[in-house]
Amino acid sequence: MTGQSMKKGVDRRQFLATGAAVLGASVTGFPAVLRAQEQTVKIGLIHPVTGFIAFSGTQCREGALMAIADINAAGGIKSLGGAKLEAVLADSQGKPEIGAAEVTKMVEGGIHGIVAGYASSISLATSQEAAKTNTPHVVDVGVSDQIVNRGLANTFRFSPGYGKIAEFAVSNLDTINKAAGSPAKTAMIIHEESLFGTGTAELLSKALPEKGIEVIDVIKHANPTRDFTNIVLQIKSKKPDLIIPANYYNEYVLLARTMRQQKVEAKGIYSVLGGAASSPKFVAEFPEAAEQIMDCNHWYDPTSDLALQRKAAAEAKGLTYTYEVFLAYNAVAFLADAIERAGSTDKEAVIAAMGSSTFDKHGMPYGPTKMVNGQNEGAQPVNTQVQKGSIEVIYPDKFASAKPIFPMAL
């Protein structure tokens, strides 16, 4: 060590002393700060606002904050004397263990309910941690069926899970295919490697052959993947009638663009929970790549005035109205509705109110809420298709804003 660096020893001692002091504060002090306020209903929002799924996590956070702002503007929780909702924000950084740690911190801070955590892996961790203290927990987007199949009394999901989505996707694809004279006989599935993509691919691989569509290949890719050339060349060589992507936003965009660049010809691109296929951002930025892609995904009811009002409000704030926004919005609204009906923030009472919920002010194509083992049985996805730069609902007919174009006619 040089003399110069030795002189810095005093500063380092100070640094260490300060570090020890702040460690003490972190170990003993911060929960007390969180306990300070009692006049509001505290809603914990845990989302991955940094990391590789930061865009989706941020969208979730924005949707949830919109809901809190709207509920507060409408008078708060009336059964609690107009108590306002207070958002307690946390960033899971895309890591389940950090999500779980944030739950612990929030519970000690007197949180009344939690909405989390976008990705299934994070939702599994946060709901489980919340279950240890029976804290009401609503999963906003995570689609793994394991989330609600573990028998955790505190955990609810307002939106549909894999099983329902895959069943719906296959059934609707069969309907669309048959209506067009069954042009699709083969399919390739391109999916990301985590729980979401793998689970979707597994379900479709089993279900599609039962509908007369042979799955000729399933290609898994890592997150992140930034070059889809080889995968697209494989698609070109195998010439499937249907290409089925199941990936997060960035990978979906890159895959779709590469397919257009390589001039892949298929009768249809049919996504299941396509990360970008139902994204206005993708459609606006890459209209040629997006055109006529079909998706089976979360979507609002385009015939609902409430949904359209919320969409307009979100867009007025500069938000892209993606599924993360309206699912997180509704997760918060569902929780707030339960607190309203419970007339209390008592955990048991709120959980009981969520279990018996018939919440219907959601603007989703769901019908009244009916919770069975924490899962909203009324929740369902819809089929969308990008038509002339606009995302249209093409199925079910009850909610449709356009007819499907299949096979693709570009």
Partner 1 sequence: MRQLLVLLAVFSAIAVLPAVITSEFSLNIVIMMLYAALLGQAWNILGGYGGQFSFGHAAYFGTGAYAVAVLQVQLGINPWIGMVAGALLAMAVAAFIGFATFRTGLRGSYFALVTLAFAEVLRILSNSVDFTGAGVGILIPLAPGPGNLQFETKTGFFFLIWSFTLAAFLAVWWIGHSRFGASLAAVRDNEEAARALGVNAFRVKMGAIILSGLFGGLAGVFYAQYFLYLDPYIAYGPAISVESLLVPIIGGMGTLFGPLLGAVALHTVSELTRELIGDVPGISLAIYGALLVGMVLFLPRGLAGIAARFTRRNKPAGTETRHA
Residues that bind partner 1 (CB under 8 A): 1, 5-6, 8-9, 12, 16, 19, 22-23, 26-28, 30-31, 49-50, 54, 58, 89-91, 93, 95-97, 100-101, 104-105, 107-108, 121, 124-125, 128, 131-132, 144, 146, 150, 152, 193-195, 197-199, 202, 220, 223
Geometric angle at alpha carbon 95, from 94 and 97, rounded to 5°: 150
Task: Give the residue with the Cβ less far from partner 1, 128 or 385.
Answer: 128
Residue 252 beta carbon to partner 1: minimum distance, rounded to whole angstroms? 17
Q: Which residues contact 374 (CB under 8 A, 6 or more apart)?
A: 148, 152, 153, 155, 156, 157, 355
Residue 305 beta carbon to partner 1: minimum distance, rounded to whole angstroms? 33
Residue 36 beta carbon to partner 1: minimum distance, rounded to whole angstroms? 14
Task: Give the residue with the Cβ less far from partner 1, 5 or 39.
Answer: 5
Q: What are phi and psi of 392, to 5 degrees?
A: -115, 145
Task: Give the residue with the Cβ less far from partner 1, 33 or 179.
Answer: 33
Task: Give the residue with the Cβ less far from partner 1, 251 or 291.
Answer: 251
CA distance 387 to 315: 20
Task: Give the residue with the Cβ less far from partner 1, 271 or 383.
Answer: 271
Task: Give the residue with the Cβ less far from partner 1, 164 or 267.
Answer: 164
How many other CB atoms sit within 10 Å of the CB of residue 288? 11
Q: At what angle do helices 54-73 and 305-316 cross, to 10 degrees?
A: 110
Residue 394 beta carbon to partner 1: minimum distance, rounded to whole angstroms? 29
Task: Give the residue with the Cβ less far from partner 1, 57 or 302.
Answer: 57
Residue 140 beta carbon to partner 1: minimum distance, rounded to whole angstroms? 17
Residue with tokens 């000690």: 108
CA distances 385 to 83, 176, 239, 297, 408, Å, are: 42, 12, 22, 10, 11
Q: Which of 335, 399, 324, 266 is nearest to 77 (CA)?
A: 335
Residue with tokens 């009344």: 112
CA distances 95 to 107, 114, 117, 264, Å, are: 19, 17, 10, 36
Task: Give the residue with the Cβ less far from partner 1, 99 or 274.
Answer: 99
H/E stretch holding 221 reads strand 214-221
CA 126 to chain centre: 14
**Size (the chain), residues:** 410
Residue 183 beta carbon to partner 1: minimum distance, rounded to whole angstroms? 31
Q: Which pair of tokens denotes residue 45?
A: 């929002």
Q: What are phi and psi of 100, to 5 degrees?
A: -65, -40
Residue 130 beta carbon to partner 1: minimum distance, rounded to whole angstroms? 11
Task: Give the residue with the Cβ less far from partner 1, 105 or 236.
Answer: 105
Residue 223 beta carbon to partner 1: minimum distance, rounded to whole angstroms? 8
Task: Give the residue with the Cβ less far from partner 1, 194 or 344.
Answer: 194
Residue 196 beta carbon to partner 1: minimum distance, rounded to whole angstroms? 8
How far separated are the first and last CA of the chain, in Å rounded?
69
Residue with tokens 């894999």: 162
Cα four-point dihedral sign 119, 122, 128, 131: negative
Residue 91 beta carbon to partner 1: minimum distance, rounded to whole angstroms? 6
Cα four-point dihedral sign 75, 341, 34, 94: negative
